[in-house]
């Protein structure tokens, strides 16, 4: 059970990382367009 929980948590964490990176890139894109 612990191994399965760890796997799900890792996948969940990776998905959050991708969304977080996408948000940062979007913010940087808007900042570059503003200048």
CA distance 15 to 34: 29
CA distance 13 to 22: 14
Task: Determine the pLDDT at residue 29.
Answer: 92
Task: Determine the pLDDT at residue 28.
Answer: 92
Per residue in 1-35, pLDDT (tens digit) is 677 777 777 777 777 788 888 998 999 999 988 77
Task: Determine the pLDDT at residue 1.
Answer: 63
CA distance 23 to 9: 21
DSSP 8-state class, residue 35: -
Task: Determine the pLDDT at residue 6.
Answer: 75
């Amino acid at each position: 059970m612990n191994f399965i929980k760890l796997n799900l948590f890792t996948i969940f964490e990776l998905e959050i990382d991708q969304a977080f990176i996408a948000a940062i890139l979007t913010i940087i894109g808007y900042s570059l367009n503003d200048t």
